[in-house]
Amino acid sequence: MSPDEIAKAHHKTFEEIRHVEENEAEYWLARELAPVLGYGSWDRFTGVIEKAAIACKNSGQNSDDHFSYTEKLIWLGSGATREVQDLKLSRYACYLIVQNGDPTKPVIANGQTYFAIQTRRQEIGDEKAFANLTEDQRRLMLRHDMAHHNKALVLAAKNAGVETSMDYAIFQNHGYQGLYGGLGAKDIHARKGLKKSQGILDHMGSTELAANLFRATQTEEKLRRDEIKGKIAANKVHRDVGAKVRQTIKDLGGTMPENLPTPDKSIKQIESAKKKALSPEE
């Protein structure tokens, strides 16, 4: 079989062992995934699962949402049965498992491709839904995502040696300086004409929020992937990533983030109006 034919066969197998619950949530069972990935020993495979669960936690995710214990009935050679512990794995959990698997196994590379493709398909679906949202709805969604990924960025930065509140403020400032062409948090705050109590992120439009979200996610991933150590090195990574995002915007002919308009309404005002609209009239 050619490499393409082998990849297609593996992808078909990954699809065949996928389970779908009544609420349409998909999952894979670890004991079914292990042999597909070339692991004949359950003990060896649990070691890979443990590494994947740690990576999940380090990314700021709740590992229980992606790795959940269950029981599986297996047949013994005598014809009898017994229950063994198994794990229900989300697509993200499977992706982390193949990322932490034995790189010498060809099926591991095919697994990485398969789960990356499946994740991208979901993202495309999300993009279609995103296109139908109003600007205020887009801002709310992106601001929520920003809050979530900033938590993961805090953890990654802390693991790199960014420990105190002051350290993190400096670290964040480097990211802004890279993305905003040298402007720091105070400069951006002043440029937007904000009061001291008003946060920068709450006064960004969806395009500006998206640029900052990309900066945060790529910095968090690079800190973890490259195992960056030391505050100075972490600050440089954040600034370099911000600068690369800025260069990408420039290459695409986009508007630099510091030149994007500041919305009239803050995120808090949008949230307040939303709650008021949803609350029953007195």
Say how many C-beta atoms besides its own lie within 10 A of residue 115's C-beta: 22
Write the pLDDT tens digit of every residue in 160-172. Answer: 999 999 999 999 9
Summarize the confidence of residues 9-14 as an average pLDDT: 70
Of 91, 90, 71, the C-alpha closest to 81 is: 71
Q: What does the pLDDT read at residue 116? A: 63
Do 210 and 149 contact (CB within 8 A), yes or no? Answer: no
Compute the mean pLDDT over every residue in the chain, rounded to the nearest whole number: 85
Would you say 180 and 188 are in contact if contact means Cβ atoms under 8 Å apart?
yes
- At 182, the pLDDT band (50, 70, 90 cuts) reads very high
At residue 112 the predicted structure's pLDDT band, cuts being 50, 70 and 90, is low
Average pLDDT over residues 186-214: 94
Who has greater pLDDT, 112 or 221? 221
Distances (CA, A) of 267 to 136, 147, 162, 184, 192: 8, 12, 28, 21, 15
Cα(121)–Cα(130) distance, integer angstroms: 14
The amino acid at 30:
A
Q: What is the DSSP string of 99-163?
A: HTS-TT-HHHHHHHHHHHHHHHHHHHHHHHHHHTS-HHHHHHHHHHHHHHHHHHHHHHHHHHT--
User: In angstroms, rounded to a whole number, what is the distance separating the alpha carbons of residues 96 and 115?
Assistant: 9
Q: 194: helix, coil or strand?
A: coil
Would you state the pLDDT for residue 282?
45
192 has a pLDDT exceeding 90:
yes
Please give the structure tokens belonging to residue 183: 């402007």
